[in-house]
């Protein structure tokens, strides 16, 4: 599946559905949908995105779904049956996350707090340190488990899997994503 530039541009500002089980254990929260994600209604769908390969490498999911073409029902079940949800801090699609305003990120953080109360997950993992710092007003935050909680959930910040974040590899992303998955009980704790 491919899209022309004009086809992708037609999805600017579109909103995609959350992928959310009834009782999530772990919710990954992306910054905002890209145009490819909006076109396929599939989180982290750009073909160069390393989110799903990293989750599979960490053992969070058993296989890499065909995400760039859009999730099948079986792909969605892969997450829902494990208690894994995926949402976004800001709902509107853009080409790049740096098109978002600080006010949008702050409003997204407030909405996420309200959503977390409703979802009641064990762990929320924000995918992107800069977006977390701006949205939550934590300019000195570092990756990993945060001291604060969101609703009653543990709050983690993990690296952005975009190809634009070149210093992380699938292996380092897998290691980072395994932490919140262990904390949520999706992966077994280290012995």
Q: Write out the chain's pLDDT in tens, 191 residues.
A: 689 999 999 999 999 999 999 999 999 999 999 999 999 999 999 999 999 999 999 999 999 999 999 999 999 999 999 999 999 999 999 999 899 999 999 999 999 999 999 999 999 999 999 999 999 999 999 999 999 999 999 999 999 998 666 789 999 999 999 999 999 999 998 86
Residue 169's DSSP bridge partners are: none
Structure tokens at 54: 């990293």
pTM: 0.96
Tell me what pLDDT residue 95 has: 92
Residue 88's DSSP bridge partners are: 30
Tell me what pLDDT residue 162 has: 80
The label of the residue with tokens 């190809």 reads 163
Note whether 180 and 123 are within 8 A (CB).
yes
d(CA 138, CA 170): 26
Q: What is the dihedral of CA 166, 12, 1, 125, to 10 degrees?
A: 50
Note whether 24 and 121 are within 8 A (CB).
yes
Domains, the chain, in order of start with CATH, read 5-184 (3.40.470.10)
Work out the burial of residue 51: count CB atoms within 10 Å of its CB; fewer than 13 is exposed, 13-18 middle, 19 or more buried.
buried
Tell me what pLDDT residue 46 has: 93
Tell me what pLDDT residue 164 has: 66
């Amino acid at each position: 599946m491919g899209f022309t530039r004009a086809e992708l541009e037609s999805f600017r500002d579109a909103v995609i559905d959350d992928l959310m089980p009834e009782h999530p254990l772990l919710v990954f929260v992306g910054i905002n949908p890209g145009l490819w994600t909006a076109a396929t209604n599939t989180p982290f769908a750009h073909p160069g995105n390393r989110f799903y390969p990293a989750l599979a490498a960490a053992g969070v999911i058993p296989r890499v779904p065909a995400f760039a073409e859009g999730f099948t029902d079986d792909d969605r079940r892969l997450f829902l049956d494990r208690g894994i949800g995926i949402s976004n801090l800001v709902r509107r699609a853009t080409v790049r996350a740096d098109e978002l305003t600080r006010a949008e990120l702050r409003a997204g953080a407030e909405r996420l707090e309200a959503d977390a109360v409703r979802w009641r997950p064990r762990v929320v993992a924000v995918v992107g340190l800069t977006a977390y710092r701006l949205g939550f007003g934590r300019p000195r935050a570092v990756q990993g488990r945060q001291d604060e909680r969101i609703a009653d959930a543990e709050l983690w910040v993990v690296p952005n899997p975009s190809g634009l974040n070149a210093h992380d590899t699938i292996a380092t992303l897998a290691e980072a994503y395994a932490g919140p998955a262990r904390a949520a009980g999706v992966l077994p704790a280290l012995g």
